[in-house]
Structure 1
């Protein structure tokens, strides 16, 4: 119905403004229009002196507000209250089109924010509540459940910024609970979230490094004991150990060549104190520097049951060391690149 097509039959001035339209007794009743002293204007239907039925209400604007355009409500009224289908433009530039109840958004509707954000879905008492879709101006989109204006329940959050997608639980507008998150071509994660971050047990597939981590997280970082890291290339092997602030600090590795290393790590490389048991039965216990035996250590040679205890450098006997033969005899000497340079003493 075009509200401007109706005939106005009577003009009356009253305290606070003027009215032109239909009456019943001394009350506005039927179709009419009034204008208040402050400049507000209404045209539409009345019943017993109250706005009732379809109507258009425009608010007067101060000079400084003129740039935002018209501020109005166009739609259904019930006993002077916005109730039913309607359209509304607000002082802040936001636009709403949908259901109203008790003067506020309630039911199905679409809210377009001046910022560029858009929400379409269920409303309750003026807030997002139920199922809805929120499109953010920063190229993100959420589709799922809302409670009292916040993302809460099951939902899907996608982003064109980093090609990410999250499917799972939300609480108080944040990722919270069980969820699955993928960043295209970079990583996939399945597990626990809290306050938008990975917290608790989860499985992280690093698609760039070709690694799979199964263990606990604290504030998005790998952290905890008995966590498993699977290295997939160039040759598959596994490390089980303790992570702190995203880094492996100690653990046991089943290396591709069949040997087993147990000890401290730095960036997934043996570093610090450790033990390595080789596939051929040899055994080393001591210091490592970036994957190389360096510092003090003990090396047992399974081929002849000999034992070296002393300094290592560049993965070889280098420096002072004690060499013990299988029969128990031994000597102390100076070694250079696994070769005895000079004996200091000899024991039988």
Structure 2
């Protein structure tokens, strides 16, 4: 596939400058909104995703990490000495947990003090997992973004990638039933 850099005017945005891949914004780019706001940063699959800065018209600046068009904060801002729950409710709610010795960070939902539900794991080597977790393990559908640009997307079971489809088979109880024949 070929990458293109486009400069176009849209009705929603005053000016849009970014690279497109398969019809979606990809890589580093800039949005200039009609209302005066401006976003400069990374895009993935057409959404703000990765490092970026949103400068609002009122002077507010949101700089840090974005996932699927949502601002999640500056996860690099936490000092290496700050470990544990550094923001939010890491017992039963949403929060940010920094692991000891720079092993990584988790941003997402917690249940009984353990990552559980939707979240993002930032690993020490720079890769990140975004998706479902269960009892602290990658479990369910998720995407692992490798540092070399590869993407492993699909289903996970107890921290291991199982593939594009769930490993369990689902049976329809109706299909096992016999339907009565018509009586005359």
Tell me which structure has the larger Cα radius of gyration. 1
Greater RCO (Cα-Cα under 8 Å, separation 6 or more)? 2
Name whichever structure is richer in strand by fraction.
1
If the length of structure 2 is used for normalisation, what is the TM-score? Answer: 0.42
| TM-score normalised by length of structure 1 | 0.23
